[in-house]
A = this chain, B = another copy of it.
Amino acid sequence: MEESYAFEDFEAGRSFPLATRIVTAAEIVEFASEFDPQPMHLTEQAGKESILGGLSASGWHTASLFMRMMFDGWLSRSSSEGSPGIDVMEWKKPVLAGDTLSGRSIVLETRLLRTRPGIGLIRFRHEVENQRGELVMRGENPIMMRLRTPQGAKL
């Protein structure tokens, strides 16, 4: 059986790998057609003419791909209760058709929630990089997580 993660497992400094993901031209165009139809996300030609240098994923697509990579990497096996938002998200380099993305979620800090007994908040730094090890996206966000043993919790 695979390990499953509860609040108590998220110690500051611990790192959880994201699943690896190849990004195809077809899915870049499909996502952009639906959510972000700017030219550089729709054709190789327009991408080459832009500062991005080629057909490149919408930043919102990269963020959504990151969510799936996190789900497959570790979140699906955790006691996550969702997230209130994103503290910061930076698109550092273009994600180009054919890129292979990987990365990690690193625990920054954890605290119990006074308002929600049995649930704690984990603040993560997330890093997504390409096949050359270049950071393409970096972000920080808090995720709510159930405790394994709520009765033992000390606020």
A residues sitting closer than 8 Å to B (CB atoms) are: 31, 34-38, 40, 50-52, 58-61, 63-65, 67-68, 71, 76, 80-91, 139
Contacts and interface: CB of A to CB of B under 8 A. Distances in A.
Chain A contact residues, majority secondary structure:
mixed
A41 to B, nearest CB: 10
A75 to B, nearest CB: 8
24 contacts: A34-B64, A34-B68, A35-B64, A35-B67, A36-B68, A36-B71, A37-B68, A37-B71, A38-B80, A51-B81, A51-B82, A58-B67, A59-B82, A59-B85, A60-B63, A60-B64, A60-B67, A64-B64, A84-B91, A85-B89, A85-B90, A86-B86, A86-B139, A88-B88
Q: How many copies does the complex hold?
A: 2
Of A68, A80, A82, A88, most B-chain CB atoms within 10 Å: A82
Contacts of A50: 82
A38 B70 CA distance: 12
A60 B83 CA distance: 11
Nearest to A63: B60
Contacts of A83: 59, 91
A87 B87 CA distance: 7
A125 to B, nearest CB: 14
Nearest to A40: B82
A35 B72 CA distance: 10
Contacts of A67: 35-36, 58, 60
